[in-house]
Amino acid sequence: MSIILDKVNYVYSTGTAYEIQALKDINLTIEDGQFIGIIGHTGSGKSTLIQHLNGLVKATSGAIYFNGQDIYDEDYNMKELRTKVGLVFQYPEHQLFETTIFDDVCFGPKNQGLNKNEAGLRAFEALKSVGLPEALYYQSPFDLSGGQKRRVAIAGVLAMKPEVLILDEPTAGLDPKGRDEILDLIAKMHKEKNMTIILVSHSMEDVAKYVDRIIVMNDGQVMYDGLPREVFRHYKELEAVGLAAPQVTYLMHELQEKGIPVDMDATTVEEAKNSILKVMQSNS
């Protein structure tokens, strides 16, 4: 059970003056249960890449296999793929349309062909798991705050019970508190439901704490793919393409240069603290 991308290429506006190659020879394997962060600056092709994973965008060349089946086969059920690979878009404003939050979350399950009761049950479950207060269920989604709208948007996709959940910049435009809440929520879902989660972001800080694999996109290509600490070792190269490693990476490197033997692979504040404490304890 996995998603495999084999030499995927994608070209925008083929044959016109505005032709752009958004993806170049992408080869990836996404295993079940992984928590992956896709990172890249604006225009690096990360959004285009994730839209391939549920068939919204068709590759110009190359193949994509979901659970061993070629999704470009003529008789492949695209609609089913889209319910199995749930994609939450960046701005919740792009999908909220119903008069109440509850009805809006019901939209996905209803499209799956479930009846009103089943859809309602799914919606209830999904809204509960994103932690939205019950008092809000029958309010208009347009009256919510940015963070709450985002929760509703995530619930709208969760209600379809996807196996893979992709989130495109779920923290964009949120304040630090809202950002932490959303990321904690996603991490909790990963742990409790053992879902495959793909988190798209341009902030290393955001993803370093949560994910167990980072894919760095640059100029339509995969630049690095590996464990966070492996990727962050290239912090100088990342900087050259307009990305930055988490601040602790810089701190640890500087401490190392000053002759303090800390663990340079620490990627979170917690790990860094432990490593520094260890060095200090062994010194005293």
Partner 1 sequence: MLRDITIGQYYPAKSVIHQLDPRVKLMATLIYIISLFSFQGIVGFLLVTAFLILIIRLSKVPFSYMVKGLRAIVILMLITALFNLFLTPGEDVLLQIWKLTITMEGVKNAVFMMVRLVYLIVGTSVMTLTTTPNQLTDGLEKSLMPLRKIHVPVHAIAMMMSIALRFIPILIEETDIIMKAQMARGADFENGNLIKRAKSMVPLLVPLFISAFRRADDLAMAMEARCYVGGEGRTRMKPLSYDKRDYTAYLVLVMFLVLVILARIIL
Give the nearest distance from C-beta 125 to partner 1 in angstroms: 16
> Which residue among 26, 157, 217, 245 contacts partner 1 (CB under 8 A)?
157
Nearer to partner 1, 83 or 148 (CB): 83
154 near partner 1 (CB under 8 A): no
> Which residue among 39, 44, 52, 83 contacts partner 1 (CB under 8 A)?
83
| Piece in contact with partner 1 (CB under 8 A), picked from 19-27, 132-140, 154-162, 272-280 | 154-162
- Cα distance between residue 57 and residue 210, in whole Å: 28
- Cα distance between residue 199 and residue 196, in whole Å: 10
Give the nearest distance from C-beta 151 to partner 1 in angstroms: 15
Within 134-153, the residues that bind partner 1 by CB under 8 A are 142
102 near partner 1 (CB under 8 A): no
- Among 55, 60, 53, 59, smallest CA distance to 28 is for 53
User: With contact defined as beta carbons under 8 Å apart, do 173 and 140 qualify?
Assistant: no
> Which residue among 2, 21, 34, 112 contacts partner 1 (CB under 8 A)?
112
Q: What residues have CB less than 8 Å from 158, skipping those under 6 apart? A: 86, 126, 129, 130, 165, 189
108 near partner 1 (CB under 8 A): yes
- Cα distance between residue 283 and residue 263, in whole Å: 15
Nearer to partner 1, 154 or 266 (CB): 154
- Positive or negative: CA dihedral 195, 198, 203, 209: positive
What one-character DSSP code corresponds to residue 136? Answer: G
96 near partner 1 (CB under 8 A): yes
Q: Which helix (H) or strand (E) holds 102?
A: helix 101-111
Q: What share of the chain is helix, strand, coil (3-state, %, to 5)?
A: 45, 20, 35
Q: Which two tokens stand for residue 252?
A: 């640890």
| Piece in contact with partner 1 (CB under 8 A), picked from 69-77, 85-93, 186-194, 223-231 | 85-93
- Residue ranges binding partner 1 (CB under 8 A): 13, 17, 51, 54, 56, 79, 82-83, 86-89, 93-97, 107-108, 111-112, 142, 156-157, 160
